[in-house]
Amino acid sequence: MTTEQDLAHASLQAILQTHQNQPGALLPILHDVQDTLGFIPDWAVADIAKALSQSRAEVHGVITFYHHFRTTPPAQHTLQICQAEACQARGSRELTAHAEQVLGCSLHGRSADQSIGLEPVYCLGLCSSGPNIQLNDKMVSRVDAAKLDRLLANVKEAQ
């Protein structure tokens, strides 16, 4: 019987195979693992290290250096709000406070019902039309409190 765990292991082996001969393969591998599994599980680290002839500590060090990589499963939905200057100048601090209030958590936390993870992001490159957010894969500009409430209601409805 094939379990979910077997599938995950098979995916990892396929990813390692794809990047085997690529110079500087670690970041491309970590991206593929996270894109496939949603995060980089502890058990994958040993296999990645072995494939690249590196120590587990080296791989762990790289994973934890970069903000993008995560070692635990993400919430069902991820809401990122830009915290950088161009968005600050257009009200992102107020928008963040609103999101924290309606979700019942702070940045890096999860909503009371655990379904939405609230994360900071430092610039999406849409700096003339902030405040900007990214909700799952979709970037949205000129987001005020009312627009954020609508977007959040939409993802909940789609659940």
Q: Which residues bind other proteins (CB under 8 A)?
A: 23-28, 30-31, 52, 58, 61-62, 65-69, 82, 84-90, 121-130, 132, 137, 139-142
Distance in angstroms (rounded) separating the CA atoms of residues 138 and 132: 11
In whole angstroms, the minimum distance from the beta carbon of 116 to other proteins comes to: 19
- Beta carbons of 88 and 80 less than 8 angstroms apart: no
In whole angstroms, the minimum distance from the beta carbon of 27 to other proteins comes to: 6
Distance in angstroms (rounded) separating the CA atoms of residues 19 and 75: 28
Q: In 3D, which of 136, 128, 141, 131 has the Cα closest to residue 152?
A: 136
- Residue keyed to tokens 């635990």: 72
Nearer to other proteins by Cβ, of 41 and 120: the residue is 120
In whole angstroms, the minimum distance from the beta carbon of 86 to other proteins comes to: 4
Distance in angstroms (rounded) separating the CA atoms of residues 59 and 80: 26
Nearer to other proteins by Cβ, of 114 and 136: the residue is 136
Omega within 30 of 0 (cis) for the link into 131: yes
- Residue keyed to tokens 């094939």: 2
Q: In 3D, which of 42, 92, 96, 49 has the Cα closest to residue 69?
A: 42
Nearer to other proteins by Cβ, of 10 and 97: the residue is 97
The verdict on whether residue 127 carries a ligand-binding annotation is: yes
In whole angstroms, the minimum distance from the beta carbon of 71 to other proteins comes to: 13
Nearer to other proteins by Cβ, of 116 and 135: the residue is 135
Residues of each annotated binding site for [2Fe-2S] cluster: 82, 87, 123, 127
Residues of each annotated binding site: 82, 87, 123, 127
